[in-house]
Amino acid sequence: MTSNEMAVEDIEERLRADLPRDLYEHIARTRVRAVEIAIPCDVDPEKCGLAALLHDCCRHFSDPWLLNLAVEFCIVVSDVERDKPVLLHGPVGAEMARRNFGVTDEEVLDAIRYHTTGRAGMSIVGQVVYLADKTEPGKQAIVSKVRSRSELRSAVLGQVDGLVLRCVKNAHPIHPLSIEMRNWLLEARAED
Protein backbone atom coordinates (compact mmCIF):
# COMPACT_ATOMS: atom_id res chain seq x y z
CA MET A 1 0.00 0.00 0.00
CA THR A 2 1.42 3.44 -0.91
CA SER A 3 1.39 6.31 1.61
CA ASN A 4 -1.88 7.92 0.47
CA GLU A 5 -3.64 4.66 -0.41
CA MET A 6 -6.64 4.06 1.86
CA ALA A 7 -7.65 0.75 3.43
CA VAL A 8 -10.78 -0.71 1.83
CA GLU A 9 -12.63 -0.53 5.16
CA ASP A 10 -11.89 3.21 5.38
CA ILE A 11 -13.08 3.80 1.80
CA GLU A 12 -16.23 1.86 2.62
CA GLU A 13 -16.85 3.91 5.74
CA ARG A 14 -16.31 7.21 3.96
CA LEU A 15 -18.62 6.29 1.09
CA ARG A 16 -21.28 5.09 3.52
CA ALA A 17 -21.13 8.47 5.28
CA ASP A 18 -20.97 10.65 2.15
CA LEU A 19 -23.23 8.99 -0.43
CA PRO A 20 -27.03 8.98 -0.61
CA ARG A 21 -28.30 5.79 0.98
CA ASP A 22 -29.81 4.28 -2.20
CA LEU A 23 -26.58 4.82 -4.06
CA TYR A 24 -24.49 3.28 -1.31
CA GLU A 25 -26.76 0.24 -1.24
CA HIS A 26 -26.41 -0.17 -5.03
CA ILE A 27 -22.63 0.03 -4.62
CA ALA A 28 -22.65 -2.57 -1.85
CA ARG A 29 -24.74 -4.98 -3.97
CA THR A 30 -22.52 -4.36 -7.01
CA ARG A 31 -19.47 -5.17 -4.90
CA VAL A 32 -20.91 -8.50 -3.75
CA ARG A 33 -21.96 -9.36 -7.31
CA ALA A 34 -18.52 -8.41 -8.69
CA VAL A 35 -16.76 -10.76 -6.27
CA GLU A 36 -19.29 -13.49 -7.13
CA ILE A 37 -18.50 -13.13 -10.86
CA ALA A 38 -14.75 -12.73 -10.36
CA ILE A 39 -14.08 -16.01 -8.56
CA PRO A 40 -15.16 -18.54 -11.27
CA CYS A 41 -13.55 -16.30 -13.91
CA ASP A 42 -10.25 -16.52 -12.06
CA VAL A 43 -9.93 -12.75 -11.66
CA ASP A 44 -8.62 -11.04 -8.53
CA PRO A 45 -11.77 -10.60 -6.38
CA GLU A 46 -10.12 -7.84 -4.32
CA LYS A 47 -9.42 -5.72 -7.38
CA CYS A 48 -12.96 -6.27 -8.68
CA GLY A 49 -14.41 -5.52 -5.24
CA LEU A 50 -12.42 -2.29 -4.91
CA ALA A 51 -13.39 -1.09 -8.40
CA ALA A 52 -17.04 -1.95 -7.69
CA LEU A 53 -16.90 -0.13 -4.35
CA LEU A 54 -15.72 3.07 -6.03
CA HIS A 55 -17.43 2.79 -9.42
CA ASP A 56 -20.26 5.22 -8.58
CA CYS A 57 -18.44 7.49 -6.09
CA CYS A 58 -19.48 10.50 -8.26
CA ARG A 59 -22.84 9.23 -9.50
CA HIS A 60 -24.73 11.70 -7.26
CA PHE A 61 -22.92 14.77 -8.63
CA SER A 62 -24.98 17.27 -10.64
CA ASP A 63 -24.38 17.78 -14.37
CA PRO A 64 -22.60 21.15 -13.93
CA TRP A 65 -20.45 19.70 -11.16
CA LEU A 66 -19.40 16.76 -13.37
CA LEU A 67 -18.60 19.11 -16.26
CA ASN A 68 -16.55 21.40 -13.99
CA LEU A 69 -14.61 18.49 -12.53
CA ALA A 70 -13.96 17.07 -16.02
CA VAL A 71 -12.35 20.39 -16.96
CA GLU A 72 -10.37 20.49 -13.70
CA PHE A 73 -9.13 16.91 -14.26
CA CYS A 74 -8.30 17.58 -17.95
CA ILE A 75 -10.79 14.92 -19.11
CA VAL A 76 -11.70 15.29 -22.79
CA VAL A 77 -15.49 15.76 -22.98
CA SER A 78 -17.15 14.35 -26.11
CA ASP A 79 -20.33 15.74 -27.69
CA VAL A 80 -22.36 12.83 -26.29
CA GLU A 81 -21.06 13.56 -22.78
CA ARG A 82 -21.66 17.30 -23.12
CA ASP A 83 -25.23 16.42 -24.03
CA LYS A 84 -25.53 13.86 -21.21
CA PRO A 85 -23.00 14.81 -18.49
CA VAL A 86 -24.06 11.89 -16.25
CA LEU A 87 -21.88 9.76 -18.57
CA LEU A 88 -18.90 11.55 -17.05
CA HIS A 89 -19.39 10.01 -13.60
CA GLY A 90 -17.12 7.11 -14.61
CA PRO A 91 -14.12 9.14 -15.84
CA VAL A 92 -14.54 11.73 -13.06
CA GLY A 93 -15.00 8.91 -10.51
CA ALA A 94 -11.74 7.26 -11.62
CA GLU A 95 -9.89 10.53 -11.07
CA MET A 96 -11.54 10.94 -7.65
CA ALA A 97 -10.52 7.38 -6.77
CA ARG A 98 -6.94 8.27 -7.64
CA ARG A 99 -6.83 11.68 -5.95
CA ASN A 100 -9.11 11.26 -2.92
CA PHE A 101 -8.90 7.55 -2.18
CA GLY A 102 -5.28 6.97 -3.22
CA VAL A 103 -6.04 4.18 -5.73
CA THR A 104 -3.00 3.57 -7.94
CA ASP A 105 -3.90 0.31 -9.69
CA GLU A 106 -4.53 1.31 -13.31
CA GLU A 107 -6.73 -1.72 -13.94
CA VAL A 108 -9.01 -0.72 -11.08
CA LEU A 109 -9.06 2.90 -12.26
CA ASP A 110 -9.82 1.79 -15.82
CA ALA A 111 -12.72 -0.38 -14.60
CA ILE A 112 -14.19 2.64 -12.78
CA ARG A 113 -13.58 4.98 -15.73
CA TYR A 114 -15.37 2.80 -18.29
CA HIS A 115 -18.04 1.08 -16.19
CA THR A 116 -20.87 2.96 -17.98
CA THR A 117 -19.71 3.04 -21.58
CA GLY A 118 -17.32 0.10 -21.72
CA ARG A 119 -14.50 0.24 -24.23
CA ALA A 120 -12.81 -2.00 -26.79
CA GLY A 121 -10.11 -4.08 -25.16
CA MET A 122 -11.61 -3.70 -21.70
CA SER A 123 -9.74 -5.74 -19.07
CA ILE A 124 -11.38 -8.72 -17.34
CA VAL A 125 -11.67 -6.63 -14.15
CA GLY A 126 -13.44 -3.97 -16.23
CA GLN A 127 -15.82 -6.55 -17.69
CA VAL A 128 -16.61 -7.97 -14.24
CA VAL A 129 -17.48 -4.51 -12.88
CA TYR A 130 -19.45 -3.59 -16.02
CA LEU A 131 -21.58 -6.72 -15.67
CA ALA A 132 -21.90 -6.53 -11.89
CA ASP A 133 -23.18 -2.94 -12.08
CA LYS A 134 -25.94 -3.92 -14.48
CA THR A 135 -26.91 -7.26 -12.93
CA GLU A 136 -26.80 -6.61 -9.19
CA PRO A 137 -30.03 -7.91 -7.61
CA GLY A 138 -31.49 -4.40 -7.20
CA LYS A 139 -31.45 -3.95 -10.97
CA GLN A 140 -32.07 -7.45 -12.28
CA ALA A 141 -34.28 -9.98 -10.52
CA ILE A 142 -33.05 -13.13 -12.26
CA VAL A 143 -29.34 -13.36 -12.74
CA SER A 144 -27.72 -16.14 -14.70
CA LYS A 145 -24.50 -17.59 -13.37
CA VAL A 146 -21.21 -16.73 -15.03
CA ARG A 147 -18.88 -19.71 -14.90
CA SER A 148 -16.01 -18.75 -17.19
CA ARG A 149 -14.37 -15.85 -18.97
CA SER A 150 -16.12 -16.72 -22.22
CA GLU A 151 -19.50 -16.68 -20.41
CA LEU A 152 -18.50 -13.35 -18.91
CA ARG A 153 -17.80 -11.94 -22.37
CA SER A 154 -21.14 -13.24 -23.69
CA ALA A 155 -22.99 -11.76 -20.72
CA VAL A 156 -21.29 -8.39 -21.23
CA LEU A 157 -22.19 -8.52 -24.94
CA GLY A 158 -25.81 -9.22 -23.95
CA GLN A 159 -25.81 -6.11 -21.77
CA VAL A 160 -24.33 -3.94 -24.55
CA ASP A 161 -26.92 -5.29 -27.00
CA GLY A 162 -29.66 -4.36 -24.53
CA LEU A 163 -28.20 -0.87 -24.16
CA VAL A 164 -28.02 -0.36 -27.93
CA LEU A 165 -31.64 -1.50 -28.35
CA ARG A 166 -32.82 0.85 -25.58
CA CYS A 167 -30.95 3.77 -27.13
CA VAL A 168 -32.49 3.06 -30.54
CA LYS A 169 -35.99 2.66 -29.06
CA ASN A 170 -35.74 5.94 -27.14
CA ALA A 171 -33.92 7.84 -29.89
CA HIS A 172 -30.92 8.38 -27.61
CA PRO A 173 -27.39 8.72 -28.94
CA ILE A 174 -25.10 5.72 -28.38
CA HIS A 175 -21.71 6.45 -26.89
CA PRO A 176 -19.01 5.61 -29.50
CA LEU A 177 -17.07 3.64 -26.85
CA SER A 178 -20.06 1.30 -26.38
CA ILE A 179 -20.20 0.62 -30.12
CA GLU A 180 -16.47 -0.02 -30.18
CA MET A 181 -16.78 -2.41 -27.25
CA ARG A 182 -19.62 -4.29 -28.94
CA ASN A 183 -17.61 -4.72 -32.16
CA TRP A 184 -14.60 -5.86 -30.15
CA LEU A 185 -16.67 -8.43 -28.20
CA LEU A 186 -18.21 -9.78 -31.43
CA GLU A 187 -14.76 -10.14 -32.94
CA ALA A 188 -13.45 -11.91 -29.83
CA ARG A 189 -16.42 -14.32 -29.92
CA ALA A 190 -15.80 -15.13 -33.58
CA GLU A 191 -12.22 -16.04 -32.68
CA ASP A 192 -13.28 -18.46 -29.89
Number of amino acids touching Fe ion (CB under 5 A): 2
In the complex, what is the shortest distance from the CB of residue 112 to Fe ion, in angstroms, rounded to a whole number?
9
Q: Which of 146-152's residues contact partners 24+ apart within 8 Å by CB, and which partners?
A: 146/37, 146/40, 146/41, 147/40, 148/40, 148/41, 149/41, 149/42, 149/124, 150/192, 152/37, 152/41, 152/124, 152/127, 152/128
| Position 56 contacts Fe ion (CB under 5 A) | yes
Are 73 and 95 spatial neighbours (Cβ–Cβ below 8 Å)?
A: yes
| Position 133 contacts Fe ion (CB under 5 A) | yes
Q: By CB under 5 A, which span of 38-46, 53-61, 75-83, 157-165 interacts with Fe ion?
A: 53-61
| Position 81 contacts Fe ion (CB under 5 A) | no
Are 76 and 84 spatial neighbours (Cβ–Cβ below 8 Å)?
A: no
- CB of 12 or CB of 133, closer to Fe ion: 133
| Position 136 contacts Fe ion (CB under 5 A) | no
In the complex, what is the shortest distance from the CB of residue 26 to Fe ion, in angstroms, rounded to a whole number?
6
Cα 38 from Cα 61, distance rounded (Å): 29
**Nearest Cα residue to 130 out of 110, 108, 111:** 111
**Nearest Cα residue to 16 out of 49, 53, 55:** 53
In the complex, what is the shortest distance from the CB of residue 2 to Fe ion, in angstroms, rounded to a whole number?
26
- CB of 77 or CB of 188, closer to Fe ion: 77
- CB of 45 or CB of 90, closer to Fe ion: 90
- CB of 45 or CB of 91, closer to Fe ion: 91
In the complex, what is the shortest distance from the CB of residue 86 to Fe ion, in angstroms, rounded to a whole number?
8
Interacting residue ranges for Fe ion, rule: CB under 5 A: 56, 133
